[in-house]
């Protein structure tokens, strides 16, 4: 289905979806109107560069771009370009930005929930399992799979009692 530009009526070549106050807003723009709004599309740009530009140009992203480690002097922008942290303090310095990244990478967990070595503390393993089950419970509720959510809730309660 071909859309027309929301502003001028020409054929739209740029389709944007924005979330404002919980509402999904779709915009259809031609290249000229998009350029007038400050939206430029660069051909063959790596996705990492697009994400960096998006983060750094958003209101929250501008705040993140200003973050700097007091120990090693690394800026958040440098971290995004290099993909490497400079020192252990960077985890604290960039916490507002790193936490959402870690949650996405670790299924919403910000602590290690992977396999434990043999002989590791059973309580820690149990705690990690409960964290993983809670993440699955939240996902089930979001997807409105209430039967699965009830099963997970009961399993969590049982593990917490034992």
- Size of the chain, expressed as the number of residues it contains: 162
| 22 lies in the same domain as 50 | no
| 51/89 same-domain check | yes
- What mean pLDDT is reported for the chain? 77
Q: State how beta strands 14-20 and 23-29 pair.
A: antiparallel
Angstrom distance (rounded) from CA 7 to CA 18: 17
| Residue 114 belongs to some domain of the structure | no
99-122 pLDDT, tens digit each = 766 665 555 555 555 565 665 567
Please tell me whether residues 55 and 90 are part of one structural domain: yes
Q: How many domains does the chain have?
A: 3
Residues 28 and 76 in one domain: no
Is residue 137 in a domain?
A: yes
Whether residue 62 sits in one domain with residue 34: no
Domain check: are 3 and 34 in the same one? yes
Residues 49 and 85 placed together within one structural domain of the fold: yes
32 and 54 in a single domain? The answer is: no
The answer to whether position 156 is within a domain reads yes
Looking at per-residue confidence, does 154 or 162 come out higher? Answer: 154
Flag whether 146 is in a domain: yes
Same-domain status, 92 and 65: yes
Residue-number span of the structural domain to which 18 is assigned: 1-41
Within-domain flag for 110 = no
* Encoded tokens for 21: 């106050």
Q: Is the pLDDT of residue 58 over 80?
A: no
Report how far residue 23's alpha carbon sits from residue 104's, in angstroms, rounded to the nearest whole number: 22
C-alpha pair distances (Å), 68 with each of 27, 85, 95, 99, 112: 35, 11, 11, 16, 25
115 within some domain: no
Q: What is the pLDDT of residue 158?
A: 92
Whether 149 and 137 share a structural domain: yes
pTM for the model stands at 0.33
């Amino acid at each position: 289905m071909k859309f027309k530009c929301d502003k001028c009526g020409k054929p739209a070549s740029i389709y944007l979806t924005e979330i404002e106050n919980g509402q999904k807003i779709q915009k259809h723009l031609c290249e000229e109107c998009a350029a007038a709004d400050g939206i430029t599309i660069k051909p063959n740009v790596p996705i990492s560069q697009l994400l960096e530009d998006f983060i750094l140009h958003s209101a929250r992203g501008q705040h993140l771009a200003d973050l700097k480690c007091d120990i090693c002097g690394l800026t958040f922008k440098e971290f995004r370009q290099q993909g490497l942290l400079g020192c252990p303090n960077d985890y604290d310095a960039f916490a507002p930005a790193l936490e959402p990244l870690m949650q996405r990478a670790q299924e919403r967990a910000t602590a290690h929930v992977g396999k434990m070595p043999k002989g590791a503390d059973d309580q820690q393993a149990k705690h990690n399992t409960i964290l993983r089950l809670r993440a699955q419970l939240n996902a089930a509720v979001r997807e409105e799979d209430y039967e699965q959510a009830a099963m997970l809730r009961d399993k969590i309660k049982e593990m917490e009692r034992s």
